[in-house]
Amino acid sequence: GDSVTQTKGPVTLSEGTSLTVNCSYETKQYPTLFWYVQYPGEGPQLLFKVPKANEKGSNRGFEATYDKGTTSFHLQKASVQESDSAVYYCVLGDRAGNTGKLIFGLGTTLQVQP
Amino acid sequence: GPKVLQIPSHQIIDMGQMVTLNCDPVSNHLYFYWYKQILGQQMEFLVNFYNGKVMEKSKLFKDQFSVERPDGSYFTLKIQPTALEDSAVYFCASSLVVETLYFGSGTRLTVL
């Protein structure tokens, strides 16, 4: 079945350093890929989505490229801030089925120290 | 941005009793969802609901589970009877189009 595997956390960084959270996926479909972010006490919220292979999504300095060849969708940010501390989820969407059913990775907790 | 409200944030219930989890979705949204997250595990899809009907449900959506949105008000998840393995955080979500979901902050259900 469909699955998502991402960097196991927690990841601890100092402010101003770069971030990479690895994500790989398995599916026989043609999915849309998402990154969601969850701040303490809140539900997951969409960071950005990429519906097509070989395209890049970005928001708030975060970016990821939908690489169909390597089935990867790694999240990157050049310079993290303390406010980026949160849990990041790589998510696979069932675009073909058009049901809104999402497959979540386990989540990667990012802690940014000042 | 649009807000999905889930109240209360925590419910404690004895095994075998009935529980109803309430969700106030974004007002103009058409699709509604429940997801379940057991501590330390992945968030998993339970069910989606559109036009008054369940569109799809996962194998986690047991016979003891039901959903409804009477008169366009709260979207509810009812569990009757509850079991110990139902302890989890339940996230409600809604969307105007199927690919852009807005999640609530979750209700932590503890079954004793």
Q: Is the pLDDT confidence value at A98 over 80?
A: no
The answer to whether residue A92 scores a pLDDT higher than 70 is yes
Cβ separation of A43 and B42 shorter than 8 Å?
Answer: no
**Cα–Cα dist B28/A101, whole Å:** 20
Write out pLDDT tens, residues B17-48. Answer: 999 999 999 999 999 999 999 998 999 999 99
- Is A96 in CB contact (< 8 Å) with chain B? no
Give me the total of CB pairs closer than 8 Å, taking one residue from chain A and one from chain B: 56
Q: Taking residues B1-5, what's their average pLDDT? A: 88
Phi, psi (rounded to 5 degrees) for A2:
-65, 145
Q: Please report the residues numbered 34 through 53 in chain A whose beta carbons come closer than 8 angstroms to any beta carbon of chain B.
A: 41-46, 49, 51
CA of A38 to nearest chain B CA: how many angstroms apart? 9
State how far residue B13 is from chain A, nearest Cα, in angstroms: 21
Q: Which two tokens stand for residue A77?
A: 């940010």
Give A-chain residues touching B104 at CB under 8 angstroms. 43
Lowest model confidence (mean pLDDT) among A89-103, B33-47, B91-105:
A89-103
Closest CB to A102: pick one of B45, B55, B104: B45
pLDDT value, residue A95: 65
B-interface mutation test, from A38, A39, A87, A99, most B Cβ less than 10 A away: A99
- Does A66 contact chain B (CB < 8 Å)? no
The pLDDT value given to residue B101: 92
Residue in B closest to A31 by C-alpha: B99
Give pLDDT, residue B73: 83
> ∠ CA B56-B57-B58 to the nearest 5 degrees?
130
Determine the distance in angstroms separating the CA of A33 from the nearest CA of chain B, rounded to an integer: 10
DSSP letter for each residue of A32-94: EEEEEEE-TTS--EEEEEE-STT-EEEETTEEEE-BTTTTB--EEESS--GGG-EEEEEEEE-
Token pair 């790694």: residue: A74
- pLDDT band for position A97 (cuts 50, 70, 90): low
Q: What's the whole-number average pLDDT of chain B?
A: 94
Give mean pLDDT, residues A55-78. Answer: 96
pLDDT band, very low/low/confident/very high, at A21 (cuts 50, 70, 90): very high
Check CB contact of A102 with chain B, cutoff 8 Å: yes
Amino acid at A12: T
